[in-house]
Amino acid sequence: MGKINWGRVLLGGIVAGIIIDVVEFVLHGVVLGQEWRQAMEALGRPLQETVGNMVFYVLLGFAYGVLAVWLYAAVRPRYGAGPNTAVRAGFGVWLLGYLLPTLGWAPMGLFPGQLLRIALLVSLAEILVATLAGAWFYKEETTRAS
């Protein structure tokens, strides 16, 4: 069993992060942008669409991508290399990083339920595709005998 190849984790994570960031921009900025603005205004907190906030969300997308590919690399020895393992890793990231935090907001009634359901469904597809793409770039380091 080889060690985790961190260079490939970063490469795959960047690829996954690009996919995540594009989907998030299209979904939350274009398709649901007006609904998010209305939801935030209803809370008395107008949406802050600053350059700093946008940079934060782009970096967050890359962090999710790297996390997903790292998890793929970590579970690969147990489940084997390939798309089934990438889907498991992506699903794990979605559970911990998307579903559970969103479920925590649901009882508070902060955001419309339909808005959260759409975001969760799209994010599941997004993270699975991103993890599959990032995992495609991942290769284990091989230890060489001296």
Looking at residue 24, its amino acid is E
The Cα 104–Cα 31 span in angstroms is 24
Confidence of residue 49 (pLDDT cuts 50, 70, 90): confident
Q: What is the predicted pLDDT for the residue at 6?
A: 96
Q: What is the predicted pLDDT for the residue at 146?
A: 45
Q: What is the predicted pLDDT for the residue at 63?
A: 98
Q: What is the pLDDT of residues 60-72, one digit of tens each?
A: 999 999 999 999 9
Q: What is the predicted pLDDT for the residue at 144?
A: 57
Total length of the chain: 146
Mean pLDDT taken over the chain: 93
Nearest to 137 by CA among 25, 8, 7: 8
**Is the pLDDT assigned to residue 1 strictly greater than 60?**
no
Q: What is the pLDDT of residues 94-122, one digit of tens each?
A: 999 999 999 998 889 899 999 999 999 99
Neighbours of 142 (CB within 10 A): 9
**Is the pLDDT assigned to residue 127 strictly greater than 80?**
yes
**Is the pLDDT assigned to residue 2 strictly greater than 80?**
no
Average pLDDT for 117-146: 89
Q: What is the predicted pLDDT for the residue at 111?
A: 92
DSSP 37-65: HHHHHHTT------HHHHHHHHHHHHHHH
Q: What's the pTM?
A: 0.90
**Is the pLDDT assigned to residue 89 strictly greater than 90?**
yes
